[in-house]
Amino acid sequence: MDLLERARTLAACPLFEGLAPAVIIRLAERARATQLERGERRTTENDVWVVASGSLAVGIQELASAEALATASVVRKHGSGALPGHALGLIRVVRPATPIVEAVAEVPSVVVGLAVDDVRDVLEEDPSALAAIADRLAALLLEPAP
């Protein structure tokens, strides 16, 4: 995946909808695409994952600890089929106390990963990006859940 493809994947995420294209590109510059084999896992402890293709089962960790993660059950499943644009861990960027999510590839999948620190840096470096995220959060709150 080149820079523009990674940027398109990130731009499809609802929380990034209000971001200026230049900010998305800066995020994409720091992102990396990862292919997940069936059964491969990723957590949102330190990373944000945006699904580019494939399907992932998702477990939400109620306690932010490795111990809890090991026993976390899948309490919410992220559909079955293509889930491009679904984001895991984004809320933790602005709210670190949010529970950690564990995603398991149900089929071979591609995700675009970003370090939580990197996303936070881009937002903190650019007040207009921060304001756009806040506006988007407010808008999402007012939308009915999908």
Question: Residues interacting with another protein, by CB under 8 A?
Answer: 2-4, 7-8, 11, 13-15, 20-26, 28-30, 44-46, 58, 60, 67, 76, 78, 85-91, 94-95, 97-98, 101, 115-118, 120-121, 123-128, 130-131, 133-135, 137-142, 145-146
Nearer to another protein, 83 or 110 (CB): 83
99 DSSP 8-state letter:
P
Local structure of 91: helix, strand or coil? helix
CB of 96 to another protein, least distance (A): 8
In contact, 83 and 32? CB cutoff 8 Å: no
- Give the number of C-alpha atoms closer than 13 A to the C-alpha of residue 14, restricted to the C-beta side: 14
CB of 128 to another protein, least distance (A): 7
In contact, 55 and 115? CB cutoff 8 Å: no
Nearer to another protein, 63 or 138 (CB): 138
CB of 22 to another protein, least distance (A): 5
Q: To 10 degrees, what angle do helices 127-142 and 116-125 make?
A: 110
